[in-house]
A = this chain, B = another copy of it.
Amino acid sequence: MEELDFYKAVPQFSRLRRDVLYEDVWKQPELGPRDRSLVTCAILGALGKNAELEAHMKKAIANGVTPDELRGLVVQLAFYGGWPCGVNSAKAGLEIFQSGGPAETA
């Protein structure tokens, strides 16, 4: 896990990220990595954290979420978080959606 500049600048934050967020929370068995990623994308999309959402969408794909499932998330965000949440999550996933994910019904 890379150590980004802004984490280095706040050592307590960096330590908690490494030891608590990634070594504890993300490894808890109640939710597997695929579901935890899906849920995290939903939270970030609802809160409008677009840069973090883009990063976690890629992580979600790595954890087994499909591009079509992220498309479904976009629509659910649009309706439950408001249209701009749909817009911003569609933008955050654009690279994923355009790089050959399976076609969607519509």
User: How many residues from A make CB contacts under 8 Å with B?
Assistant: 62
Q: In the bound complex, what is the Cα–Cα distance between A73 and B12 (angstroms)?
A: 11
* Interface SS majority for chain A: helix
Copy total for this chain = 6
19 further contact pairs, Cβ within 8 A, besides A30-B75, A48-B48: A6-B87, A7-B90, A9-B94, A9-B98, A10-B75, A16-B24, A36-B72, A38-B39, A43-B43, A43-B76, A43-B80, A43-B82, A44-B84, A47-B48, A47-B82, A49-B88, A52-B83, A80-B84, A82-B82
A binding-site residues for B, Cβ under 8 Å: 5-7, 9-16, 20-21, 24-25, 28-31, 35-36, 38-40, 42-49, 52, 68-69, 71-88, 90-91, 93-94, 97-98, 104-106
